[in-house]
Amino acid sequence: MESSDSTEENGSDSKTVKKRKVSGETQAKLIKLEGPSCAMNEHTDNVSAIVWGGERNPVTLYSGSWDHSLRSWDVTRECCTATLNGNKVVTSLSFSESSQMLASGHADNTVRLWDARAHGDSIVKFELTSHKKWVSDLAWSKTNDHLLVSVSHDNTMKLWDIRAKIPLYSLTPHTSKALCVDWNHSCKQIVSGGADSKLEVHTLDS
């Protein structure tokens, strides 16, 4: 027989959640969620995308905003360490730890690639243009530095080799806006979600 208990303690800025199973299993640890430990507020408009800098940069966070900028943050020092200025609203963000490249999706239908190691104002390294509407999400492959997938409000999903100017594949998996996309752990499959309430799984040929 198995049972679980859940308790919450509401203070000013904290919650405590405890779950317990009684069937010879190890009792779950006590998890306490504190209020914000810091606030970083240099963006001047909606913050629309965030991504961590990976294992090599565990205290680095990247953000994108409707103020047209991408920012790098040191969450330990609670400060902005670099600003990459663009001229279009940022809608999505993905970071490649192996290549140290940031990919950003934008409301002008474009995917832009940036060098995350740059400091101060920086020009875009590459622009990928094939989508016809707002780029809603994108994701780097974790096994190939050159592969990037993006989805858009034009219902399409595009697989890019960033060394080329045109997508390797362009699919229309959804009957409405494609909203999110990600790779599986082995990067042999890509899954997309859309406003048509569907998840579509795509397998890459080896």
Residue 3's pLDDT is 46
Residue 137's pLDDT is 97
Angstrom distances, CA of residue 152 to CA of 65, 100, 135, 176, 184: 18, 24, 4, 10, 20
Q: What is the mean pLDDT of each run of 10 residues along the chain (206 residues)?
A: 47 48 55 72 87 87 92 88 87 93 95 80 82 97 95 98 93 96 95 97 86
Identity of residue 38: C
Residue 5's pLDDT is 47
| Backbone torsion region of residue 164, taken as left when φ is above 0, otherwise alpha when ψ lies between -120 and 50, otherwise beta | beta
Place of tokens 């406003």: 195
**Contacts of 83 by beta carbon, 8 Å cutoff, 6+ apart:** 42, 69, 70, 71, 72, 120, 121
Angstrom distances, CA of residue 48 to CA of 35, 65, 68: 21, 5, 10
Residue 157's pLDDT is 98
Residue 35's pLDDT is 66
pTM of the predicted model over 0.85: no
